[in-house]
Chain A
Amino acid sequence: MLKVENLHAGYGGAEVLNGVNLEVKAGTVVALIGANGAGKTTTMRAISGMVRPSKGRVLVEDLPVEGLAASRIARLGLAHSPEGRKVFGPLSVEDNLLLGAYRHLPHFLGFRSKAAADLKKVYDLFPRLEERREQLSGTLSGGEQQMLAIGRALMAQPKVVLLDEPSMGLAPVIVQEVFSIIRRLKEAGITLLLVEQFAKSALEVADYAYVMERGKIAVAGTPEELRKDERVLAAYLG
């Protein structure tokens, strides 16, 4: 579903990624773990077009998308829930969700009725968002904003979802909740690339995982294989 080949990218001449290769098969959850500054978030940003890759390929369903504007890539069905959540603070919870479905809704009128089924699905997953649908999203708690960011990504009926650090800055109880949501998404058959600091929890939900070091994939394997790898064990799972 998503394939990344020899991806290079950086910011203003400073190269952060030196040839990343990874693959996310349809219906699987893939975790991308590694130390701070290894290039996990940059990988996500280069895939979704927020950073223009300097070299390499990104294929969404065999379609090359590298070099396209982020909005084009999003319209092709790649939903990226970015680091730091980035909800539209001055807009209501429901407006945020509706905008998540922008790629397949009518842009003038009648969008509300067309979005009703998707909205219901997201509200079933996150009942708290339904309670707060009229509230400005900037006034939500961190955990609620994260739920909103995930819900907003799901509204797009995406082919593949990128989740960047969904647990960042959240209380432990809420982190647990986030992971139980990810588990439910997996059961629903959603294709997911997950970047996480909490490597242990990430490996518990993932079907496959990549470990990044200095802008490259250092180790790859199933969670069982990685748990046996001594280097990974010492560095990330200790």
Chain B
Amino acid sequence: MDTSVIIQIVVSGAFMGLVYALVAYGFQLTFATSKTINFGQGELVMLSAFFSLTLTRLGAPYWLMVPGGLLFGALLGLFVERAAVRLALEQKSEGWILLTIILGLLGFSSAENIWGRDDHPFPTPISSDPIHVVGVDITPLEISVAVGVLGIMGLIELFKRRTLLGKAFEAVSADRDAAELMGISSTRTVMLSYALSGAVAALAGILVAPITTVGPTMASALILKAFSVAVVAGLESGFGVVVVGLFLGGLENLASLYLGSGWREAPGLLLLILALALRPNGIFGKASIRKV
């Protein structure tokens, strides 16, 4: 096969991989502060995409729809924290696992009831006519995915490093008790992490919707792959999820090219199993040392 076709396929897979990376980054945000993740994160992606679609249908322009969708995602994140996570954390129970799954199922059936089971196209002013860049065709839509993903991750990382609130976020990740002794409320920090994680999931939904269309099941495959990316990269490194996301996105497209489209989901699962067997802390994760 022609090399340029292969490169083309890897490149467009990599753009999709950036979306996996973004959702995986959402897992990292809440894991850092509370050692919990929202197993219903995929439904959060989907519900935010539906909400943004509704905003668009009501006549909201793109520049207004995006922050509206992000805000909605952040509110959903806060709801998940309040309803499923906080109580479990206070009682030091693992109940959050089941509770976040249940909330996800609830979100799924709500979406079916409100918007129906059909897939809807997601209108966007960004063109999908390819531009020729050094031998590869790239669409402005794909560029918007890259800009959106790297932009929001960059902003959040900047917030963590440059503001005192961001440093407090890091302090809670490092040692909750000691952070409390500095006057930093760990409850509020966990809330903040869930709001950010929700906004990140919403952006993933908005970015991916014009490519995949919007429907109740739009994120079910996406979330599994995001989970693989998070585990393979490790739950600490933002840089790691981008690298692994790009890699998995490209690999997936190669698998469906050479083995048939039914094998598309295989590399994600394979990488997940390999990572769990060989490097449970992830490629970019530090081996956790339990201090006594």
A interface residue numbers (CB < 8 A to B): 48-50, 69-72, 74-75, 79-80, 82, 86-91, 95, 98-100, 102-103, 105-109, 111, 152, 156
Contacts and interface: CB of A to CB of B under 8 A. Distances in A.
Interface string B18-32: 000000000000000
Given A88-B174, A91-B174, A156 B165 contact: no
Nearest to A87: B178
6 contacts: A71-B181, A71-B186, A90-B174, A95-B167, A152-B182, A156-B182
Contact of A156 (B164, B168, B183): B183
B177 A86 contact: yes
B119 interface: no
Given A74-B183, A90-B170, A105 B177 contact: no
Nearest to B292: A84
B56 interface: no
B178 A91 contact: no
A107 B168 contact: yes
A102 B177 contact: no
Contacts of A109: 162-163
Contacts of B185: 69, 71-72
Contact of A107 (B163, B174, B187): B163
B170 to A, nearest CB: 6
B180 interface: yes
Contact of B182 (A49, A72, A99, A108): A99
Nearest to A48: B181
B157 interface: no
A213 B184 CA distance: 33
B181 A99 contact: no
Given A88-B171, A90-B170, A99 B184 contact: yes
B180 A91 contact: no
B94 interface: no
9 nearest interchain CB pairs? A74-B183, A70-B180, A86-B178, A103-B183, A75-B183, A107-B165, A71-B185, A88-B174, A111-B164
A75 B184 CA distance: 8
Nearest to A152: B182
Interface in B62-91: none
Contacts, number: 85
Given A90-B170, A91-B171, A74 B180 contact: yes
B183 A91 contact: no
Most A CB atoms within 10 A — which of B162, B174, B178, B186?
A: B178
Contacts of A107: 163-165, 168
Given A90-B170, A99-B171, A108 B164 contact: yes
B86 to A, nearest CB: 13
A69 B164 contact: no
Nearest to B178: A86
Contacts of B187: 69
Nearest to B236: A90
Given A98-B167, A109-B163, A88 B178 contact: yes
Interface in B243-289: none
A206 to B, nearest CB: 23
Given A88-B171, A108-B163, A109-B163, A102 B184 contact: yes
B112 interface: no
A95 B187 CA distance: 21
Contacts of B164: 98-99, 102, 105-108, 111
A99 B167 contact: yes
B175 interface: yes
Contacts of B184: 71, 99, 102
Contacts of A80: 181
Contact of A82 (B168, B174, B177, B186): B177
A99 B171 CA distance: 8
Contacts of A88: 170-171, 174-175, 178-179
Contacts of B175: 86, 88-89
Contact of A102 (B162, B168, B170): B168
B183 A50 contact: no
A48 B179 CA distance: 13
Contacts of A103: 182-183
Given A71-B180, A74-B183, A108-B165, 4 more contacts: A49-B180, A88-B179, A90-B170, A99-B171
B167 A82 contact: no
A74 B168 CA distance: 14
Interface string B181-201: 111111100000000000000
